[in-house]
Amino acid sequence: MAVTAKTRREVIARDESFCGWCGLYVDTASGQYSLQHRRARGMGGSKRMSTDLHANLVLLHGTGTTGCHGYIEAHRDEARERGFNLTQQLDPAAIPIGLKVHGVPAWALFDNLAGRRFITETAAFELLEQYGLAA
Ligand SMILES: [Zn+2]
């Protein structure tokens, strides 16, 4: 399995070409971006269909070692508290993600149809706590 071209286009459109971590514009035409897997592909994850679907993916600056994506990989605790670093037993569609949208912090739930539903910070923290991800 891999992220299909269609899913890639839909995730970029859902995220409005803004980086989920820093909220700044991503010039996707430059190729200097990546779609992060919130729940890693490793440890058997690559065989699960949901791994390469929309709820598990978020547009970021950089690669796994550079830019915002690199920052997330190097700061796993901070990433976990914002829903960017999920363990294998978690369903990405159930876990809120702490985005920045046009630079403004905003919590959202993703679905696997390229949907993005904003929720309150209170609701997001309740979910994070329920799943053991709260700070
Ligand atoms: Zn960024």
pLDDT digits (tens, 9 = 90+) for 68-102: 999 999 999 999 999 999 999 999 999 999 999 87
- Whole-angstrom Cα distance, residue 129 to residue 103? 25
- H/E segment holding residue 100: strand 97-101
Measured in Å, residue 96 CA sits from the centre of ligand 1 at 18
- Whole-number pLDDT of residue 27: 94
Measured in Å, residue 36 CA sits from the centre of ligand 1 at 12
CA-closest candidate to residue 125, choices 115, 112, 134, 116:
134
- Whole-number pLDDT of residue 87: 92
pLDDT level of residue 49 (50, 70, 90 thresholds): confident
Measured in Å, residue 75 CA sits from the centre of ligand 1 at 14
Q: Give the model confidence (pLDDT) of 98-117 as tens digits.
A: 999 877 899 999 999 999 99
